[in-house]
Amino acid sequence: KLAADQAKEKKAAMGDASKQQATYSSALASNEKMKKKCESAQQDADKTHLAYTKADADMTLSRAAVEKIRKTADLKQVELDEVKKCLQTSIDETNKAQHDHFYTKMPVIFKQLQQLDETRTSEMVQQFLRYVSLEGEMLPLWTVSEKKCKDQCSSIKPEADSAQLVDEIQTGLPIPGDISMDDRLSTTPVDKRSKKGAVASGSTRASFAGSKKTSSCEESIELFESLPPAKRKKKLVSKISDLKSAHKKEEAELKALEKLTSVYTANPSLGDPVVVQQKIQPVMQRCDAMSDEIYKLECALAQLENKDPPTMPLSVGAGGRNSLSSILSHSNEVNDVHIQTIAGVDEVYDLAETSEMKKSSSMTWGDDFAEPGGQQCSVLYDFTATSGSELSVKAGETLDVVQDDGSGWISVRRGTSQGYIPLSYVQMS
């Protein structure tokens, strides 16, 4: 019965809080609507006044036409004064509603909820005391325990418990100040050309490495700002952990692609390194984006714990490891040497001999690797080759392992066919 009564009273108090919040929101919306109306009236009055000024200076217009324009301007000015009076009334009402909301009505509701919690705590203490008294009457041996239980119950302070609960769940957000007439009437004209220039210059600065990371630590304080400090810290730690796990996967994929590019560059007969290089750039961009996000979250966590900000991470594409430009330059050097060698061959070699040379070159590459030493693997999933160095396989096949260089790809052989397949697609036997 006590729990049911408590739930009923709490539901009624929460309903009053919702109604009061709706009333305050309605007052803010009405004030915002009146502000827009005042701005529109101000623009109309300025336009008619400007038209009257031009007409009064125009010697070609008749006096009657000028007088008509003047009356229109005066009428618009009168309408503006009336709208300003309405706006001032709306501001006063909004300020009163805001003051009542934060200083009168909502504190009363919160006090009511706090008293409900204190009453519940007191009732539980009384019930526990009655239970201890009954047990003490039935069991004389409980004399010592009864005294200790009563001492503990007498030390319970419902006011301190409820105050501690308020400290744990309060958001800490400041109460907004009163709205002034100057704030509502201040209209700063916006120069579209200057705004466009600012955006363009901002985008240019953002293109340089490190510009975004410099301001991210300052902006990170806004992350999860509506949460209490303990919950905010928990959210930040969880987000950082998830991003670091995803970042490790992206780095592993990037290392595998770079290893495969090095193999293709050293042995062009295996495949085209440019195809793999096209896949490296998106992975680098994702790694850099995740690094920026992790840095921003770590800055927010450091600010929350009053610690020094972490060290700014190095961009993957800025030299942290083999960048795409260095890989491309190395590939171009290898191709230049290959072209010079072909150009130096005597012209008597025909196309058949050139084809035979390529064939023997590919066979020589296969001999460079160690022969399979009996180790085999079972294919778990179907895989379709996308280049000449890869091998298409079907799930359930058993293949001979030629080489596993730790790049995430494994070289296998099936009869006379040999090529690369993903290591995650097989199970080593």
SS3 of the chain: the string is CHHHHHHHHHHHHHHHHHHHHHHHHHHHHHHHHHHHHHHHHHHHHHHHHHHHHHHHHCCCCCHHHHHHHHHHHHHHHHHHHHHHHHHHHHHHHHHHHHHHHHHHHHHHHHHHHHHHHHHHHHHHHHHHHHHHHHHHHHCHHHHHHHHHHHHHHHHCCHHHHHHHHHHHHCCCCCCCCCCCHHHHHCCCCCCHHHHHHHHHHHHHHHCCCCHHHHHHHHHHHHCCCCCCHHHHHHHHHHHHHHHHHHHHHHHHHHHHHHHHHHHHHHCCCCCCHHHHHHHHHHHHHHHHHHHHHHHHHHHHHHHHCCCCCCCCCCCHHHCCCCCHHHHHHHHHHHHHHHHHHHHCCCCCCCHHHHHHHHHHHHHHHHHHCCCCCCCEEEECCCECCCCCCECCECCCCEEEEEEECCCCEEEEEECCEEEEEEHHHEEEC
Q: How far apart are CA 379 and CA 373, in angstroms?
A: 18
**Separation CA 129–CA 150 (nearest Å):** 7
Please give the C-alpha separations between residue 103 and each of 13, 195, 282, in angstroms, as whole numbers.
17, 41, 54
Closest by CA position to 97, among listed 25, 34, 155, 44? 25
Could you tell me if 235 and 227 are in contact, meaning their C-beta atoms sit under 8 angstroms apart? Answer: yes
User: Which pLDDT does position 223 carry in this prediction?
Assistant: 58
Phi, psi angles (nearest 5°) of residue 411: -90, 125
The rounded distance, in Å, linking the Cα atoms of 67 and 58 is 13
pLDDT at 174: 65
Assigned token pair, 429: 């036997």
Cβ(310)–Cβ(295) under 8 Å? yes
Rg from Cα positions in the chain: 39
Sequence-distant (6+) residues with CB within 8 A of 310 are 295, 298, 299, 302
Question: Which residues lie below 8 Å from residue 346, measured CB to CB, with a gap of 6+?
Answer: none
| Structure tokens belonging to residue 160 | 């301190």
pLDDT tens, position by position, for the chain (429 residues)? 777 888 888 888 888 889 989 998 999 999 999 999 999 999 999 999 999 888 888 888 888 888 898 899 899 999 999 999 999 999 999 999 999 889 988 899 888 888 888 888 888 888 888 888 887 777 776 667 777 778 888 888 888 888 887 777 766 566 777 888 777 676 544 443 443 333 333 333 333 333 333 344 444 445 566 677 777 788 888 888 888 988 888 888 888 888 888 888 888 777 788 888 888 888 888 888 888 888 888 888 888 788 887 877 665 444 444 444 444 444 444 344 333 333 333 332 333 333 334 333 333 333 434 444 568 999 998 898 888 788 999 999 999 998 888 778 888 999 888 988 988 888 887
Residue 212, C-beta contacts closer than 8 angstroms, at least 6 positions apart = 206, 292
Instruction: Give the chain's end-to-end CA distance (angstroms, integer).
Output: 67
Nearest alpha-carbon partner for 9 in 123, 102, 158, 100: 123
390 DSSP β-pair partners: 420
Spatial separation of the C-alpha atoms in residues 366 and 357, rounded to whole Å: 14
CA distance 192 to 206: 21
- Can you give the pLDDT at residue 171? 62
Residue-level pLDDT at 342: 33
Determine the pLDDT at residue 278: 83
Q: State the pTM of this model.
A: 0.34
∠ CA 72-76-77 to the nearest 5 degrees? 115
CA atoms 152, 153, 157, 162: torsion sign: positive
